[in-house]
Structure 1
Amino acid sequence: MRIAMFTDSYLPSKDGVVTSILLTKQELEKLGHEVFIFAPEPWDYRDRESGVYYFKSRGFKSYPGYMIPMFPTNKCEILRELNVDLIHTHGLLFMGLRSMFAGRTLSKPVVVTFHTMVTDAAKYYARIPIPDWMTNRLFWIYLRELLERADAVVAPTDAIRTELLNYAPDMKRIEVIPTGVDTARFSPANDGSEVRNKYGLDGEKVLLHLGRIAWEKNLDLVLKGFRKLSAEDRDIRLMIVGEGPAKKHYQKMASELGIEEKTIFTGFVPDADLPQYYAACDAFTIASKFETQGLAALEAMASGKPVAGIDYRAVAELVTPGQDGFLFDDSPDSCADAMSAALSSGEDVRKNARRKAEAFGMEKSAVKLVDLYKYAVEHKANGH
């Protein structure tokens, strides 16, 4: 099969969507399929990759590093020349629209993966002050049209599938296909001593948060929970790995909470070094209600680390309390308790976390995706 993947974000930007695309492309190519990436052009021309088809774009001022592909293109002609069998969009906004236009123009099936709860994030980046209820309603009117026009929809978790069915009940087909995790790369066998030495963490208990530092990630709760926990145990450190538009805000908040000396903001970490950072921690924490799957939590579990996570959406579906991690609600006290339980959990919890991650095999996910592709192609060929 020849598959065109459309995305609103791509390298050098790094987020869960980009990770999912790279892993999926890798596994599909192992199965003998051809994958072509269509993405917004990067800000710096030197970041362009050969073999990627770029849309002329402009920077998104509210979110540095992200580009908006808002200009006319000849991509339909390119898709026709490539003779693709199917278009798979991982973007819901500009690229979602472009994928539908291209699919209609070329009579090709379109599959949509719902990676991002854009309704949850929109309020943080809107250029015009609009009431939350209005933003939410307008986005879902658009998203319903997108999802119900697609030949098939992929939801990363059952929680997201249920939510999408509430808003777009007339989707032609929706399947739960999580992004697989590389359990060879993220493993309990990895050595995190170099990272610990770098930050002077020998003898300390390390709690890790890894991902984009953005307002929708609910890092406020992590910091407030950590303040309570660190007051009870002085040997605990919080390591926050990543970059993002809210980094300065959270650095200031850590200072105001009096935990600045116990909190490490590492900044950007190269993808190749991430396994060492997971290996360096004793437990992983995530408070984001924004997640549709929670790939970072899954990578931590593959590394044999228990997760202290928010009891909401995808994270609540991933973590089994007391077995491979612990869940908390919106209160700092609950968050602190779950973090403490994760840090003090025994070897059985760590082994269970690893087993949970092993169930998310990359090849298994790719095979399920190919089956859905075949359905979409046949569905389109039959005139539906």
Structure 2
Amino acid sequence: MNILMISDVYFPRVNGVSTSIMTLRRELKALGHTVTLVAPAYDMGEAPEDDIVRINGRPVLMDPEDRLMSLKSLKALPQMLSAQSFDLVHIHTPFLAHYTGLSLAKAFNIPCVETYHTFFEEYLYHYIPFLPKALMRYAARHFSRRQCAQVDGLVLPSIAMDEALKRYGVRAFSKIIPTGIELSDFSHCDPDGFRRTHGIAPERPVVVYVGRVAFEKNIEFLLLMLSQLRHSIPDVLLIIAGEGPAEAKLRKTVEGLNLAANVLFVGYLERATELPACYCAGNAFVFASRTETQGLVLLEAMALGVPVVSTAVMGTRDILTAGRGCRVAEDNPVAFAATLQEVLTDSTLRARLSIEARQHALDWSAPQMAQQMLAFYQLAQQQFMRSAQLAEV
């Protein structure tokens, strides 16, 4: 197949959507398919790639890490890409990419599918806090119903996201296909080297958070939990790997809770070696986001054999409810701290969870998920052709 993907975000912008697109592109190309991606230009030294069309833009007002792609350049895409004979458009984000993807599919008379990566009902409130939360919830639900009805197929990364959209009244043709994990990328690491680089003693108890440092990730909850855990494990260290708009506020929270000696911000890490080493430097991986449509970082930690302690809310439930390689914690700081303390103080438990985690991650391999996506593409094509034939009658 010749697939055209479009997204409002991609590397070097680091987040779960970028990772999901990169993983799917790589697997589809490995299977012999052609994938062209339209994504923003960030002017951050990204290397040109023949199969990525970069669109110039400007920083987004409320989130300057992101880019708003140029409308003029987007409108020129049908003519620019007309000779490539695409079979299908796959949209990955609901902003300008959504409407441009619809236009491209119409111009080329091909089906259009979309992956619903972000739980906007909770996400929007964090970035437009001056509007009532009830209004934001209503707007997000209306927005989602409208957009989901405009595509020929909808990809959902988790059962929880499927349930949420059904509550909204979405009735689109859809399938649950999680983002797969490239197991080879998370099969080895150097935790001792990471600890040496950052001056962390080999015996010090360490917990790790990896992800965007954003308000919707609920990292402040982890800091409140840490202030409780410190009473029983005084030298515990929380590593926060990532960057984002919540960092300044979180640093102030660290100061206010007197946690400066217990928290280490390390920023974004290079994915090939530094990131796996960071995961493995932890005795446990911690997570408490309430807005995840899947929670890919949980699988990355598990693939490396790092026990996970996390709440199970929204998409993370699919990964955690089996109870393999993890401990599900209650959604309050005191109970979470107690669960984490059990894991950190019981080496036998950690060893068992580590083995379970690696086994569990095998069920989420990227090649399996890419095969499911291809099958869904073919179903979307068939449905598109049937609809076209009915319209001619």
Determine if the alignment matches structure 1 residue 342 to structure 2 residue 346: no
Report the equivalent of 1:369: 373
TM-score (norm: length of structure 2): 0.92
Query: Matches of residues 1-384 of structure 1 in structure 2 within 5 Å?
Result: 1-44=1-44, 46-47=45-46, 49-51=48-50, 52-72=52-72, 73-126=75-128, 129-171=130-172, 173-187=173-187, 189-201=188-200, 202-272=202-272, 273-320=274-321, 323-343=324-344, 344=346, 345-384=349-388
TM-superposed CA distance for 1:43, in Å, is: 4.0
The whole-number CA distance in structure 2 between the counterparts of 1:63 and 1:342 is 36
The whole-number CA distance in structure 1 between the counterparts of 2:197 and 2:138 is 47
TM-superposed CA distance for 1:255, in Å, is: 1.2
TM-score (norm: length of structure 1): 0.95
SS of 1:77 mapped into structure 2:
helix
The percent of aligned pairs where both chains have the same amino acid is: 27
TM-superposed CA distance for 1:104, in Å, is: 2.2
SS of 2:62 mapped into structure 1:
coil
SS of 1:379 mapped into structure 2:
helix
TM-superposed CA distance for 1:219, in Å, is: 0.6
SS of 1:38 mapped into structure 2:
strand
The whole-number CA distance in structure 1 between the counterparts of 2:169 and 2:70 is 26
The whole-number CA distance in structure 2 between the counterparts of 1:318 and 1:292 is 11
Tell me how many residue pairs correspond in the alignment: 380
TM-superposed CA distance for 1:322, in Å, is: 5.3
The whole-number CA distance in structure 2 between the counterparts of 1:123 and 1:320 is 27
For the 8 Å contact 2:148–2:170, the answer to whether it is kept is no
SS of 2:328 mapped into structure 1:
strand
Choose 353-362 or 116-125, whichever is displaced more: 116-125
SS of 1:350 mapped into structure 2:
helix
2:363 is aligned with what amino acid? Answer: A
The whole-number CA distance in structure 2 between the counterparts of 1:242 and 1:269 is 7
TM-superposed CA distance for 1:110, in Å, is: 0.8
TM-superposed CA distance for 1:381, in Å, is: 1.9
For the 8 Å contact 1:242–1:268, the answer to whether it is kept is yes
Change (3 A) 1:54 1:349: same
The whole-number CA distance in structure 1 between the counterparts of 2:375 and 2:185 is 26
For the 8 Å contact 1:208–1:283, the answer to whether it is kept is yes
TM-superposed CA distance for 1:321, in Å, is: 6.9
For the 8 Å contact 2:180–2:366, the answer to whether it is kept is yes
Q: C-alpha deviations, 1:229-256, integer Å up to 9, x for none?
A: 1121123211111111111111110111
SS of 1:184 mapped into structure 2:
helix
Choose 48-57 or 223-232, whichever is displaced more: 48-57
Change (3 A) 1:107 1:322: closer
5+ residue gaps, structure 1, are none
2:194 is aligned with what amino acid? Answer: V
SS of 2:184 mapped into structure 1:
coil
The whole-number CA distance in structure 2 between the counterparts of 1:76 and 1:69 is 16
SS of 2:162 mapped into structure 1:
helix
TM-superposed CA distance for 1:78, in Å, is: 2.7
- The CA RMSD measured in Å over matched residues stands at 1.6
Runs of 4+ in 1 over 3 A off after TM superposition: 320-323
